[in-house]
Amino acid sequence: MITFEGVAKRYRNGREALSNVNLHVAPGEMVFLTGRSGAGKSTVLKLIALLERPTRGQVSVGGENTGRLKARRVPAFRRRVGVVFQDHRLLIDRPVFDNVALPLIVADSSLKEIDKRVRAALDQVGLRGSERVLPAELSVGEQQRVGIARAIVSRPPILIADEPTGNLDPQLATEVMALFRRLNEVGVTVVVATHDLHLVRESGLRQLVIENGRIAGSEPAGALPVIEARR
């Protein structure tokens, strides 16, 4: 489902975030992406979601080689990948409902469908009743959950989440992870970048550790001391 082959990413300012990444995430798999701050986790996710293109190597997502995708096919590609951003990326002057509805609106869903799905998504992140609130009037953790609702509202086959629990209390973090697990159980491929090793450990899922611009290890969650030593 997601494959990186010899991927390097150098940003315009010359900073090389990734030097040689090889990874594979099977269809329907759920994995964690870990590593120190600045290691390149977000960069990997941006390459998957086609917010960036690789400088070298190949990124293939859902059978599409993202480097060769024509510009006019990019929107359809992005609709198949739900993304939870580290910085939320909400429309600050639009109420919660509009924010969550956006992926459905751009996909020309009917108003009835939009209404139903937005409410369901808000329900799943515990924000039912906040439809008319502006993001600025929400706590950071609540904004994060709006971002999660937006990522899952159109039921994309691939879900990418960048620090989705970074601003949540332990109980909410556990709930969000449980939500991701449920989506994963119905076939969604999930990649979560996180610093929260406790969550990784609890999940028992595979984690990909990024270090020095490459994948330093692809380990089951048990082998934690190694990672903790790296922190």
Partner 1 sequence: MSGPGSYFARHTHALFSSAGHLARAPIATTFTVVVMGLALALPLGLDVLVRNVRAATADFSGAVSISVFLKPGVAEARAAQLARSARERPGVAAVELITATQALAQFRAQSGFGAALDALDANPLPHALVVTPRPANSSPADMESLRRYLAAWPEVDAVQLDGDWVARFNALLALLRRALLVAAGFLALGVVAVVGNTIRLEIRNRRAEIEVTKLVGGTNGFVRRPFLYTGALYGLLGGLTAWLVVAVTLVLLGPTAARLAQSYGSPFVLAGPGARELGLLLGFGTLLGWIGSWLAAARHLARIEPGSG
Ligand X SMILES: Nc1ncnc2c1ncn2[C@@H]1O[C@H](COP(=O)(O)OP(=O)(O)OP(=O)(O)O)[C@@H](O)[C@H]1O
**Quick one: 37 or 112, whose CB is closer to partner 1?**
112
Going by the DSSP 8-state scheme, the letter that residue 135 receives in this structure is: G
Q: Minimal CA–CA distance to 98: which of 153, 144, 49, 48?
A: 153
Cα gap 176→170, rounded to integer Å: 10
Number of residues that bind ligand X (CB under 6 A): 13
3-class DSSP state of 157: coil
Cα gap 222→194, rounded to integer Å: 16
Task: Calculate the dihedral angle through the C-alpha atoms of 112, 62, 221, 140, rounding to the nearest 10 degrees.
Answer: -40
Under the binding rule (CB under 6 A), the answer on residue 11 touching ligand X is yes
Cα gap 189→181, rounded to integer Å: 10
Q: Which of Mg ion, partner 1, ligand X, none sits in contact with 54, Cβ below 5 to 8 A by type?
A: none
String of contacts with partner 1 for each residue 48-87, x by CB under 8 A: -x-xxx------------------x--xxxxx---x----
Under the binding rule (CB under 5 A), the answer on residue 42 touching Mg ion is yes
Cα gap 203→67, rounded to integer Å: 33
Cα gap 151→81, rounded to integer Å: 8
Binders of Mg ion in range 71-90 (CB under 5 A): 86
**Quick one: 55 or 86, whose CB is closer to ligand X?**
86
Amino acid letter, 226: V
Among 17, 104, 158, 215, binds ligand X (CB under 6 A): 17
Contact stretch for ligand X (CB under 6 A) within 32-40, 54-62, 118-126, 218-226? 32-40
Contact stretch for ligand X (CB under 6 A) within 30-38, 105-113, 130-138, 139-147? 30-38
Among 25, 32, 35, 97, binds ligand X (CB under 6 A): 35
Residues that bind Mg ion (CB under 5 A): 41-42, 86
Binding site for ligand X (CB under 6 A): 11, 13, 15, 17, 35, 37-43, 86
